[in-house]
Amino acid sequence: MDTKKLLEIMKAISEKIEAEKDVLTELDSAIGDGDHGINMARGAKTVMEKLPSLIGKDSGAIFKGIGMAVVSSVGGASGPLYGTAFMKAGDALKGKMELSAEDFLAAFSASVAGIKMRGKSTIGEKTMLDALCPAERAMREAVEAKKTLKEALEAAAVAAEKGAERTKDLVATKGRASYLGERSLGHRDPGAVSSSFMLRAMADAM
């Protein structure tokens, strides 16, 4: 994948988030403070505005630029977490103008590790990680089986969608939803759903 395609994918993610912002806000209204859609849409708008300045840059600089735009514009828990994810991907892709499936996996793994570190969180706590960790596993399996980047992204998107759906059965122990304890059961985690939307947008745009 070249950097032109990467910028197209970033645009597709932003459009998907903007289109789904009401869904995200509704989910966050049930178990949080009802701003996840607003937070994410603000980030998407900032990223869209930033994209023209990233034309011609290498993949690392593109991810890093987007991560910085996200951190500076998105509040709440999700802003620093997603911002860290993009910046960690940027570190993993320094100087690369072409991305292989292996490169993409390395960047995605660095992103997930960055979220875990920044959020002091792990799988099973009803957060975005319950979509992202299964997605990382699925992407790894696809890459190890020598699948194409598109196939690997499709596998990751499907795993993220399943993971987000399964957050219904989890009790939140991190983030605002943890204040609800058992009452968070039966609801999907907003961040897990936004993660699944981003991976779906990437797979479809690939």
CB-closest chain residue to ligand ADP = 191
* Residue 72 CB neighbours (<10 A): 12
State the DSSP code for 94.
T
Question: Rule CB under 5 A: which residues touch Mg ion?
Answer: 28, 32-33, 35-36, 76
Q: Which is nearer to ligand ADP, 41 or 107 (CB)?
A: 41
* Binding at 65: pick from Mg ion, ligand ADP, none (beta carbon under 5-8 Å per type): none
Closest distance of CB 27 from ligand ADP, Å = 8
Q: Are 110 and 89 in contact (CB under 8 A)?
A: yes
φ, ψ at 75 (rounded to 5°): -90, -160
- Paired strand residues for 98: 2
* Binding at 121: pick from Mg ion, ligand ADP, none (beta carbon under 5-8 Å per type): ligand ADP
* Binding at 25: pick from ligand ADP, Mg ion, none (beta carbon under 5-8 Å per type): none
Q: Whole-angstrom Cα distance, residue 154 to residue 138? A: 9
Q: Which is nearer to ligand ADP, 3 or 39 (CB)?
A: 39
Q: Which is nearer to ligand ADP, 163 or 175 (CB)?
A: 175
Closest CA to 153 of 93, 198, 89, 91: 198
